[in-house]
Amino acid sequence: MMQISSTKIYTSGKIISLAAAASVIRRLRQEGKTVGLCHGGFDLLHPGHVKHFESAKKLCDVLVVSVTSDRFVEGRKGAGRPIFPDTLRAYMIANLRMVDYVVVTDVKLGVDVINALKPSMYMKGPDFIGKQTPGITSEREAIKAVGGTMAYTDDPKLSTTEVIDYIQQKIPSKRLLVVLDRDGTLITNDDFLGRTEDWKKKITLNMPVVSFLSYMQTKYKTTKIVVSNQSGVARGYFDEKKVDEVNEAVNDLLKKQGIKIDSWQYCPDVDAEFVGSHPEIAWKTSFVKKTTKRKPSPAMVTDALFSLGKKMTEFDKVVVLGNSDDDNGLAQSINAKWIDVRGASYEALLAVLGTIQTKS
């Protein structure tokens, strides 16, 4: 999904809750109005969607559009979908003149939406006429059970998936490897996150960086790897399971912003030489090594690429986003451009990317 910095601007009086929609539809039907329902993901709103809504509205008095929530679109369409989050998909549809109400439905099946809203008509495209799959068959049964009827528009089909496939396969796009630090870069936290019981409440995404990643996802075919030194394990602040939990929590937040991370890597070990210079710390000896994969070593990047079945030579550009000398050193070790995110605004990050583009 594309990153949205604030959902507050994506509001409309047409967007209502499921419970409110059910109440409105019940009242309208009692008044003798015909209420039509269109249900789907409606990702990457295109002319086919608009024409479908336009035709559907001609068949009813009031048109309600149900937008499937993000998690169920991803479950059906796979990673990287939807392109836009449900809040923005609902907002775009709500701004179409022929649509009267929009509701985001956090359910897996159209049958559940029909049962909850009980519309007069359930609208589908012409490609569903005569179709006998379990899904559409159960929807026909559900609309009949609530006292409604099926209705089909006669518009040409235009598939969102086909549009996305065309963009991805037919339009040239450079391949970009993005290597990211976690603490102080992806998130503003830089204080051994996971050390306290309330660590989940303390996670704060670095929004300029998140917006920057969203931009790069739209302009390039990106592979994104997070590599972080986690000496908190060797210090005894938390264990490796906690690091995995923190990574998972950060990943979940990023997914809600439309950011897909391809690989998470971390090094819990510390160098024996560094340990020797800090005897005041009660190090866990099992994590003290003569050599480690800690940055600025490129080892974690190498491991990530191997796990993904990729090679450094596949990429047209390689950038490292970080906030420390170790990140800068990593960039040098893999011949990448280092982008220092400390205090950088989204506009400043874009400007740095512009210099990379100019040189390529």
What pLDDT band is residue 298 in, cutting at 50, 70 and 90?
very high
Q: What pLDDT is stored for residue 5 in this prediction? A: 40
Q: What pLDDT is stored for residue 124 in this prediction? A: 92
Q: 69-83, 159-173, 201-215: which has the highest mean pLDDT?
A: 201-215
Residue 360 CA, chain-centre distance (Å), reads 29
Average pLDDT over residues 159-167: 66
Q: What pLDDT is stored for residue 160 in this prediction? A: 65
Contacts of 217 (CB under 8 A, 6+ apart): 2, 258, 259, 260
Give the tens place of pLDDT for each residue, 211-249.
999 888 878 889 999 999 999 999 999 999 999 999 999
Contact 271, 292 (CB under 8 A): yes
What pLDDT band is residue 10 in, cutting at 50, 70 and 90?
low
Q: What pLDDT is stored for residue 161 in this prediction? A: 65
- Of the candidates 208, 180, 203, which has an alpha carbon nearest to the alpha carbon of residue 295? 180
Contact 229, 326 (CB under 8 A): yes
Give the tens place of pLDDT for each residue, 252-293.
999 888 899 999 999 999 999 999 999 999 999 999 999 999
Going along the chain from its start, the domains and CATH numbers come out as 18-162 (3.40.50.620), 172-359 (3.40.50.1000)
242-281 burial, b for 16+ CB within 10 Å, e for fewer? bbeebbebbbebbbebbbebbbbbbbbbbbeeebeeeeee
Give the tens place of pLDDT for each residue, 75-133.
777 766 787 888 889 999 999 999 999 999 999 899 999 999 999 999 998 888 888 89
Residue 46 has pLDDT above 80, yes or no: yes
Whether this prediction's pTM lies above 0.85 is answered by: no
Contact 114, 32 (CB under 8 A): no
Q: What pLDDT is stored for residue 263 in this prediction? A: 97
Residue 1 has pLDDT above 50, yes or no: no
Run of H or E including 92: helix 86-94
Residue 219 CA, chain-centre distance (Å), reads 16
Other CB atoms within 10 Å distance of the CB of residue 131: 11
